[in-house]
């Protein structure tokens, strides 16, 4: 697989799906064979990126390839990979509804079947810290915990994980749809009906072991 092209294509995909604007957000993926991480560069338009613009690093931050300055959130991406060995793709997005909840410091619960199936756990809002700081990386990892595939960064946007890039984007779509529905419920003066932990566990088992074709 060409991981550099995957990062470039994923940045363009974030723009086309309306989950970021301009040069905001960032993308990374990990090669499971080498353990190397491929990162989008800082402040460069996604549609203008070339393979040589992608930075390749070890999980300790050592640069292996590339002369560009990597995304400001490099420490956050690497901290996620170090803490979650099953994760091989991370996208940091700026979707409207999810960011609205992040700006209130609120979590997004698993009240939809789709969210319960793929998001792993409640989408928690990480405590505020300056973009690019080690503190933000620490707060993000803490909000994700050992199970969640999503978290919000207070006043900043969303982070979605995946075992691969396609899964990360799918989860991003579910997160934003859940945030939008949550917003509608609250604007109607209602309250969501919770799904039991037993049913959440049953759905997650089904998706992991039974859903789809053999």
pLDDT at 208 over 90: no
Token pair 């619960």 in the structure block, residue? 109
- Selecting among 17, 33, 48, 73, the annotated active-site residue is 73
pLDDT at position 211 is 73
Domain 3-209 fold is L-fuculose-1-phosphate Aldolase (3.40.225)
What's the pTM?
Answer: 0.95
- Is 86 a catalytic site residue? no
Please tell me the least confidently modeled range out of 101-105, 173-177, 192-196.
192-196
* Cβ atoms of residues 194 and 135 within 8 Å: no
Confidence band of 205 (pLDDT split at 50, 70, 90): confident
| Whole-number Å distance between alpha carbons of 76 and 87 | 13
pLDDT at position 110 is 96
pLDDT at position 212 is 67
| Whole-number Å distance between alpha carbons of 139 and 75 | 12
* Cβ atoms of residues 141 and 159 within 8 Å: no
Opening angle at CA 168, ends 187 and 81, nearest 5 = 120
pLDDT at 132 over 90: yes
pLDDT at 192 over 70: yes
């Amino acid at each position: 697989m060409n991981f550099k092209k995957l990062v470039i294509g994923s940045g363009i995909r974030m723009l086309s799906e309306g989950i970021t604007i301009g040069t905001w957000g960032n993308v990374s993926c990990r090669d499971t064979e080498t353990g190397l991480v491929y990162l989008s560069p800082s402040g460069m338009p996604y549609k203008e990126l070339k393979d040589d613009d992608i930075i390749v690093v070890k999980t300790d931050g050592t640069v292996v390839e590339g002369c560009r300055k990597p995304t400001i959130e490099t420490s956050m991406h690497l901290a996620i990979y170090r803490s979650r060995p099953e994760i091989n793709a991370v996208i940091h997005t700026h979707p409207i509804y999810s960011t609205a909840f992040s700006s209130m410091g609120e979590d997004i619960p698993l009240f939809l079947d789709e969210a319960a199936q793929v998001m792993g756990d409640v989408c928690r809002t990480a405590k505020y810290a300056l973009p690019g700081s080690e503190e933000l990386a620490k707060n993000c990892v803490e909000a994700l915990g050992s199970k969640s595939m999503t978290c919000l960064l207070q006043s900043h946007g969303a982070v979605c994980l995946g075992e691969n890039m396609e899964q990360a984007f799918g989860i991003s779509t579910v997160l934003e749809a859940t945030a939008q529905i949550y917003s509608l419920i609250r604007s109607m003066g209602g309250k969501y009906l919770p799904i039991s932990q037993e049913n959440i566990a049953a759905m997650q088992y089904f998706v992991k072991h039974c859903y789809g074709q053999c």
